Amino acid sequence: MISKIMYNLYSNPQYPENSKDNIKRGYENNHYRIHLAGNALITTLFLSLILTYIVLLPVNALSNDLANYNSSLNAQDVTFEEYDTDEDTDEVSDPLEGFNRAMFTFNDRLYFWVIKPVAKSYSSIVPHVIRKGINNFFHNLNYPMRLLGSILQLKTQKAAMETFKFFTNTVFGLGGLIDYSFEFDEFNIDGEDTGQALAYYGMGNGAYIIWPFLGPMTFRDTIGFCFDYALQPVSYVTPLYMSFGVRSFDVINKTSLELGDYEALKEGSLDPYIAFKDAYIQYRNSRIKR
């Protein structure tokens, strides 16, 4: 339609030449403005995805640890008092406590001001069964990380079971959307990671540190995290903003399934910083000893 109008304008002799030039320049200017607006929109979306990933990652990592930790306690039917023994609570140095407490407060506010509202809105729109399937898909996708962690610790039986589980869920579970752990008890295995492999070879915890945006770790787990990041297929999605977008979506989805875990531990402790530190160390030590 626009092309036809422009043709009529140029071919009709009743319009002066300068009028045609003005119309042409106006058309080109509008096209240029649309092009700039499109680029601005793409840039804004890209920066939003990066910010979302940076903001949502920390407490998601912590809530994952807490959820797994609580699950392990329920599975073993033990209490905090029974679990909190000298054998399971190796001393971890905290020379950066001042910095760590500041980062704990920073991440805590990110959770309550940003992460929780976003996750709650998301969960109110997307049904639980869909969110669970998405979580299963991303867990299945991180098979290389768990496989290498098992192999490095010479846990050949677990490596074989991880492989069998991966192919079963991928082929018969719609690419991993369905997790057959509910059908086969053998699939209910604790995943391994590089941090656990480093502990297997004698590397100590090192200093405890809370990273802004990443949450609590030890020095050993920080090194393991870097290797695990490289083993996750999502890290190789290109272009970069697409990788951030996929990770942001994964983080939002996981957080929506674990709302309340973070609040429960925080509300039940006199000093939340110490409570989260102890919970994290106990959980990691329990994973290493299995």
Encode pLDDT of 106-130 as tens digits: 999 999 998 899 999 999 999 999 9
Whether the per-residue pLDDT at 246 is higher than 80: the answer is yes
Q: What angle do CA 145, 147, 151 make, to 5 degrees?
A: 120
**CA-closest candidate to residue 248, choices 129, 134, 170, 108:** 134
| pLDDT of 16 higher than 80 | no
**Contacts of 29 by beta carbon, 8 Å cutoff, 6+ apart:** none
How far CA 289 is from CA of 33, 47, 88, 189, 200, in Å, comes to 62, 41, 9, 14, 9
- Whole-model pTM: value is 0.69
How much is the pLDDT for 115?
86
Which residue type occupies 170?
T
Structure tokens at 175: 């690419």
pLDDT, average across residues 236-241: 92
- Residues 122, 226, 46, 240, Cα dihedral to 10°: -120
Cα–Cα distances (Å) from 48 to 34, 55, 237, in that order, read 21, 10, 17
- At 271, which amino acid appears? D
Contact 55, 110 (CB under 8 A): yes
pLDDT of residue 87: 44
Interatomic CA distance for residues 215 and 60, integer angstroms: 8
